[in-house]
Amino acid sequence: MTMSSKYSRKTAISSIYILTYLSLKLLSMFVRSLIDNEVYFTLSLMAFSNLINWRNVIY
* Domain contains 9: no
* Domain contains 58: yes
* Domain contains 11: no
Q: How far is CA 2 from the centre of its chain?
A: 42
Looking at residue 3, what is its pLDDT? 63
* Domain contains 35: yes
Looking at residue 23, what is its pLDDT? 92
* Domain contains 10: no
**Residue 55 is part of which domain span?**
25-59
* pLDDT above 90 coverage of the chain, percent: 24
How many domains is the chain built from?
1
pLDDT tens track for 17-39: 999 999 999 999 988 888 888 88
Average pLDDT (37-58) is 81
How many whole angstroms separate alpha carbon 32 and alpha carbon 45?
20
Q: Residue 15 — φ and ψ, nearest 5°?
A: -65, -35
Using H for helix, E for strand and C for coil, what is the string for 1-59? CCHHHHHHHHHHHHHHHHHHHHHHHHHHHHHHHHHHHHHHHHHHHHHHHHHHHHHHHHC
* Domain contains 5: no
* Domain contains 50: yes
